[in-house]
Structure 1
Amino acid sequence: MKSLCSLSVAAALLFSGQTLAATEIAGIELPGSVMMQDTQLTLNGAGVRSKFFMDLYVGSLYLPTAAHDLKQVLAEPSALVRLNITSGLITADKMRDAINEGFELATDGDISAIKPQITEFMGLFDEAIQEGDQFSFLTTANSVTSYKNGKLLSTIEGEAFRTALLSIWLGDDPAQNSLKKAMLGH
Structure 2
Amino acid sequence: MKNLLVLIIALVTVNVSMAQTQVGSVTLPNTLSFGGDDLVLNGAGIRKKAMILKLYSGGLYLTKKSSDAKSIMNADETMAIRLVITSSFVSSDAMKEAVEEGFDASMGGDTSSLNTEIQKFIKFFNDEIVEDDTFDITYQKGKGVVAYKNGKELGTISGMKFKRALFGIWMGNDPVDSKLKKAMLGN
TM over 0.5: yes
Percentage of identical aligned residues: 40
Report the counterpart of residue 13 of structure 1 in structure 2.
none
Report the counterpart of residue 56 of structure 2 in structure 1.
57
Counterpart secondary structure, 1:113: helix
**CA distance in 1 between partners of 2:45 and 2:39 (Å):** 17
Report the counterpart of residue 185 of structure 1 in structure 2.
186
Is the Cα contact below 8 Å between 2:105 and 2:174 reproduced in 1?
Answer: yes
1:146-178 CA-partner distances (Å, limit 9, x unpaired):
000000110001211100000000110000000
Report the counterpart of residue 24 of structure 2 in structure 1.
26
Report the counterpart of residue 104 of structure 1 in structure 2.
104
Counterpart secondary structure, 1:90: coil
**CA distance in 1 between partners of 2:159 and 2:33 (Å):** 23
**CA distance in 2 between partners of 1:111 and 1:145 (Å):** 20
Report the counterpart of residue 71 of structure 1 in structure 2.
70
TM-score between the two structures when normalised by the length of structure 2:
0.86
Deviation, 1:143, is 1.5
Report the counterpart of residue 154 of structure 1 in structure 2.
155
Structure 2 letter corresponding to 1:104? D
Equivalenced residues, count? 167
| Higher CA-based Rg | 2
Deviation, 1:37, is 2.0
RMSD, aligned CA: 1.3
Deviation, 1:76, is 5.3
**CA distance in 2 between partners of 1:31 and 1:54 (Å):** 24
- Structure 1 stretches of at least 4 aligned residues deviating more than 3 Å after TM superposition: none
Deviation, 1:27, is 1.4
- 1:66-145 equivalences under 5 Å are 66-73=65-72, 74-75=74-75, 77-141=77-141, 143-145=144-146
**CA distance in 2 between partners of 1:166 and 1:139 (Å):** 9
Structure 2 letter corresponding to 1:40? D
Counterpart secondary structure, 1:121: helix
Report the counterpart of residue 168 of structure 2 in structure 1.
167
